[in-house]
Amino acid sequence: MTTTAVSKYVTRNPEILSGEPIITGTRLSVRVIVGLWRLGTPPEEIPTQYPQLTLAQVFDALSFYLDNQAEINEYIEQNHVPDDLIHPAVRQALKAE
């Protein structure tokens, strides 16, 4: 298992998410943190949703994203669920937010 550190808290491991950047010591991708941030979740609140994370890890993931936006945006797009596959009740709940 080859793990490559790409920043202090971000690594790549080909055996986890096919090498997608993750937070060191977790299986949590940078993509997930960026997704929350892009939805308006302040970085300080992300560790309340993922208590295994520290605020330093969150900020490092966001920093990594800002330096590698094209790559992470591609992962986000690859993992996007098309609207027609979302259950109508879920779609309605999301519109209500």
pTM for the whole thing? 0.80
Q: Please report the pLDDT score of residue 97 as a whole number.
A: 63
> Measured between alpha carbons, how far is residue 23 from residues 4, 28, 85 in Å?
11, 6, 29
Q: Scanning the structure block, which residue is given the tokens 């879920």? A: 90
Which residues of the chain are modeled with pLDDT < 50? none
Residue 81 is part of a domain; what is its CATH number?
A: 1.10.10.10
Per the structure, the complete domain to which residue 82 belongs is given by 4-96
- Domain count along the chain: 1
